Amino acid sequence: MVSDGLSAGEVRWRRERAALNDARGPLGEVADGLYPDVPRVAETPLLCRDAWIPGAPIPLEEIRLEWEDRPAPPAVADPAEGLPDGYRTYAEAVAALAPPKVFEDRPSYRLVAADPPVLRLGPARYFDAVNVGESVAHELAAGVAGLPLRDRVGDPCDLARRPALPAVTTVTVTTSGRYVLHRRDPAKVAHAGGLYQVMPVGVFQPLGGEPPDLWQCMVREYSEEFLGADEDYGDGFVQEDWPFHRAMTAARHEGRIRAHFLGLGIDPLTLALDLLTVVVIEDGLFGELFGGLVAVNDEGEVSMAPFGEAVPRPMQPAGAAALGLARRHRKALGL
């Protein structure tokens, strides 16, 4: 045992976890080189299959979400490689040895199949993705020879190989050409700490017993990430009756907010899956809805950046890809 009460294995694991969080940008570049034959999204490191990237933005209302109640289990789940003695999963080790500010095993969705505009989903828990994705990233940071866990997972774009839990990554652009930029604080988040990202971004999760609904999930993320609202909505919450949701949805029906699906892809470091979307908001409406845009939220620092300028580095591949696709389609998006 060591002086702080941790075993040598726990100390080693914590040190490797810190090394991962300190170098996600460079490690992502290394991971990018591990998949030379996999297609990329918009000339970024985000991995994909060609069919995952439509030739034009798809209006969000045209995305069809299908449900599979009992999908086949993934080939790799809850790997034990690299964990200190006494820990069953990576999430268990994180919670005990390096807990971020936000770390809860909430109900989530697993992406079973993708052929836009159709996405097929099944039930999952948030830690399902942490246990595989952060493990393969940790393995790379620790310099494990041969990367046996990553090799066991195999094709990063094969959704049957691991629990592929989608996040919704949204580029929010004003009609005057500014977008919302986020720097994720490694002390606050379990994923992508130290990297820049667009906003809002959130794991695609249900609230209560609601069926999967991309727009409802995105609206909650706007409230939480842009305005600093609490993630606990309380018992009896009905989103359709919530004034903020009603204001966002009415503006979308009026065309003052335009939401489109751009595609999906896989982060080479963590194998995280992102659904890429863009929301264009009229300048005046942005001020009405988000005049109270926070400078700091529960996951990091918030700012505005010119839509046409170079992507800040290091940026999470999903954010860079969403920006790249939005710029590629700026005419179709009215930008």
Mean pLDDT by 10 residues, the chain (335 residues): 77 96 93 98 97 98 97 97 96 95 92 98 97 98 98 98 98 96 74 81 90 96 92 89 97 98 98 98 96 84 91 90 96 95
Residue 249, judged by CB atoms within 10 A of its CB (0-12, 13-18, 19+), counts as middle
Q: Which two tokens stand for residue 80?
A: 């034990």
User: How many residues are listed for the chain in this entry?
Assistant: 335
Q: Model-level pTM?
A: 0.94
Give the residue extent of every domain in the chain.
Answer: 8-328
Superfamily of chain region 8-328? Nucleoside Triphosphate Pyrophosphohydrolase (3.90.79.10)
Q: Can you give the pLDDT at residue 1?
A: 38
Q: Can you give the pLDDT at residue 232?
A: 85
* Maximum distance among all Cα pairs of the chain, rounded to whole angstroms: 64
Closest residue by Cα to residue 83 from 154, 165, 17, 143 = 17
Q: Can you give the pLDDT at residue 314?
A: 85
